[in-house]
Amino acid sequence: MPLMQAVSSVSLAGGQGKTTVVLFVARLLAEQGRTVLVVDADPQSSLTTFLGHQVEPESPTLLEVLKKQVGTEDGIYKTRYNNLFLIPSDDALDTVQDYLAGSGTGAFTLKRRLATVAHLFDYCIIDAPPQRSQICLTVIGASDALVIPVETSVKGLQSLIRTLELIGELRDDQEAFDGDILGVVPFRDRWVGLRRTTESESNIESMQQITQEWFNQDLVLPSIRESEKFKQAINRGQTLHEMGQGELAYPIEVLVKKIEQLE
């Protein structure tokens, strides 16, 4: 019987690659025969859209699951891909913030809801919203491990520090997170020919220094290259391998290996 491991993609700014990481990691795990539940915990609902799922007016989403208006299983839908299931969201998810804040133990709400389906899936991959919100807290609280995508830019570095501060608060003050940090994935790493640009180079070095200071080790993983091919793959619903761009999938493959080592 599988016992689900939950991994979230968290980063406290927009456009850091959170949803991209969730999408490609979940699809690769599913292709490798794992049973995967993805949870769209962002009211922007990009992940729901990327997976080609349409939320019908009366059909339950993550909102109803969190509020316990339905059982968790009732919020889970098949996707067009084998082994890949989704708890979708739409912009109404934003209204759950007050519910989570009012419950007093909001950081544990998603964890409790997912516990009832943990026997059905090998992995749960969760897409977090970009703000430091109640939804973000409950996502981190539900996680056995986190991956932090960070754009290779100054904005990305600032986001990384804010994200590490939040994780630290949840770990030390609220005891809502005691999982692993799988690593930081530099996003939109720019190369010209065979050389990384000096800007990308210096930003990735900063990421290494920051993780070194926080964890006494370099937690920076292989980067996701700046490439239109990712956007094309997302738009076509294809994997990078299906696009004939297998070499771009290396950072995703490394992440999947790390996830498979969790226990």
Ligand X SMILES: Nc1ncnc2c1ncn2[C@@H]1O[C@H](COP(=O)(O)OP(=O)(O)OP(=O)(O)O)[C@@H](O)[C@H]1O
Under rule CB under 6 A, residue 153 binds ligand X: no
Closest to ligand X by CB, 44 or 79: 44
In the complex, least distance from residue 210 CB atom to Mg ion, rounded to whole angstroms: 22
Single out the residue of 19, 83, 109, 138 in contact with ligand X (rule: CB under 6 A): 19
Query: CB-based contacts of 260: which residues, under 8 Å, 6+ apart?
Result: none
Phi, psi (5° rounding) for residue 172? -90, -45
Under rule CB under 5 A, residue 19 binds Mg ion: yes
- Please, what is the Cα angle at 17 between 200 and 214, to 5 degrees? 65
Sheet of 224-225, strand order: 77-78, 84-87, 36-40, 123-127, 5-9, 145-151, 180-189, 224-225
Phi, psi (5° rounding) for residue 122? -80, -40
Single out the residue of 5, 8, 16, 200 in contact with ligand X (rule: CB under 6 A): 16
In the complex, least distance from residue 228 CB atom to ligand X, rounded to whole angstroms: 7
Under rule CB under 5 A, residue 111 binds Mg ion: no
Stretch that binds ligand X, among 42-50, 62-70, 71-79, 237-245 (CB under 6 A): 42-50
Binding mask 187-226 for ligand X (x = CB under 6 A): -x-----------------------------------xxx
Residue that has been written with the tokens 């339950």 in this structure: 60
Least Cα distance to 156 among 199, 196, 203 occurs for 203
- How many angstroms separate the first and last alpha carbons of the chain? 14
**Eight-class DSSP state of 35:** -
In the complex, least distance from residue 256 CB atom to ligand X, rounded to whole angstroms: 17
Closest to ligand X by CB, 117 or 128: 128
Which one of ligand X, Mg ion, none interacts with residue 256, CB within 5 to 8 A by kind? Answer: none
By CB under 6 A, the residues from 73 to 132 that bind ligand X are 130
Phi, psi (5° rounding) for residue 173? -85, -45
* Positions that interact with ligand X (CB under 6 A): 11, 14-20, 42, 44, 46, 130, 188, 224-227, 230-231, 234
